[in-house]
A = this chain, B = another copy of it.
Amino acid sequence: VASRRPVRLALVGFGSVGRRFAAHLLGNYGRILRRLGTPTRVTAIATARHGAAADPRGLDLRRALLLASKGRSLESLDRGGPFTSAADFVKRAPADVLLELTPLDPQSGEPATTHVALGLRRGLHVITANKGPVAFALPRLRSLARRHGVRFLHEGAVMDGAPVFNLVARCLPGIRVLGFRGALNSTTTRILARMEQGLSAGAALREAQAAGVAEADPRNDLDGWDAAVKGCAIANAVMGARLVPSQVRRSGIAGITEKDVRLALAAGHRFRLVVRGKRSGRAVEVTVAAERLPAGDLLVTPGCDGVVVFETDLMGEIGIWEGVGGVDQTAYALLSDLIAILERPRPE
C-alpha cells in the first residue's frame, strides 16, 4: 500500500482555509491519510495575489506556507506553470483532486462555480468549502460529475465540517426529507446573543467584526442573504430542489431592536435568524426570517455555531448540532471529503 501512487491535490485559493488545511496536512491530517494507506501530495496552489505554483512531483508545502505568511509570491516554487489565470490553473494544473477555496462572491456564486465545472470537465474529483456552487448550480455540477465518473463533494459549504449533506446521504438511506429549519448564520447568532446580554445592535456588530466573525461589509449576514444561500444549498442537495438564492423569501435582523430582544427574553424567548425549507407541491420553498423562539428550542441552545433539524418521513425530526465553527472546522470538511473520495472514488 505504501507504494501506491500519491494522490495529487491542487488548491485554487490559498487564504485562511487553504493554508490551515495545508498546515494540517503537514501534521495531523497527513498522519491520518498515511494511516489510511493513501499518500497525498499537494502538486499545485493558486493564490489570489501572490501567483501560482505547480510541481508534478509535489510542492514544498512548508515553504509555500512560509512564503504566503510573508506575503511573498509562490512563483519561485513553480515547476509547472506559469498560469495565465485561475481558470487556466484549474484547467492545466497537475492534479487528481481539485480543492476549490477561492473567496466567494455570494451574489453570483463565482468564481467557485466556474472552477468546479472546469475541474469536473477535466475528470478531476472536486471538493469545495464554498456554498456558491451548491446553491447556484448543484444539479448541473452533479450531472457533470456523473458524466465524467468523478465525485463532487461540498460538506464545508454549510456548518463547516459538521455533517449536514453527508448525514442525509450516508446515514439516512431511503429517507425523504420533508423540510428543515436551521440557525446557519453564526454572525447573526452571535450578535443576537450579545444583544441578549445587553449590548446595542451596533456594539454587538462591531465586536463581531473585531473578532473576525463578521465581514467588514456585514450586509450579506445581516440581511439574510448568507442564510438564503445556505438554505438553497441544503434544499438543492438533500431535497432535490433546483432553487437559486434570489428565489428565497428573505428578511434579516435589521428590524430587531434592543427592546425587542429584551422583551422577548423577559418572556423566555430569543430571536434567531432562521432558515426554513419545506415542500410545496412538487416544489421546495426556502425562507429566511428573524424568528422569536422559546428559550428551550434546539435552534437557540447556547454555545452553538450552527444547527439544522431535518423533518423526515420515516424518522421524524433529526437534528445536527455544531458547537464551535471556525477555520479548523472548515479545513476538516476538506479532509472529510478527501477521505471519502480516496475510499470511494466512484460517483454515487
What residues make up the interface of A, taking CB atoms closer than 8 Å to B? 28-29, 32-33, 36, 160-163, 166-167, 170-175, 294-298, 300-304, 309, 313-324, 328-329, 332, 335-336, 339-340, 343
Contact = CB atoms under 8 A, between A and B. Distances in A.
Nearest to A301: B298
B296 A300 contact: yes
A318 B328 contact: no
Contact of A335 (B32, B167, B297, B314): B314
B315 A162 contact: yes
A195 to B, nearest CB: 16
Contacts of A167: 163, 167, 171
Contacts of A321: 298, 309, 317-321
Q: How many copies does the complex hold?
A: 2
23 contacts: A32-B174, A36-B174, A160-B315, A161-B315, A163-B318, A166-B170, A167-B171, A170-B170, A173-B339, A173-B340, A174-B335, A296-B296, A296-B300, A298-B321, A315-B322, A315-B329, A316-B322, A316-B324, A316-B329, A317-B321, A318-B321, A319-B322, A320-B321
Given A163-B167, A171-B163, A321-B321, A315 B332 contact: yes
B171 A170 contact: yes
B300 A298 contact: no
Given A163-B171, A166-B171, A336-B172, A318 B323 contact: yes
Contact of A301 (B32, B296, B313, B343): B296
Contacts of A340: 173
Nearest to A304: B298
A176 to B, nearest CB: 9
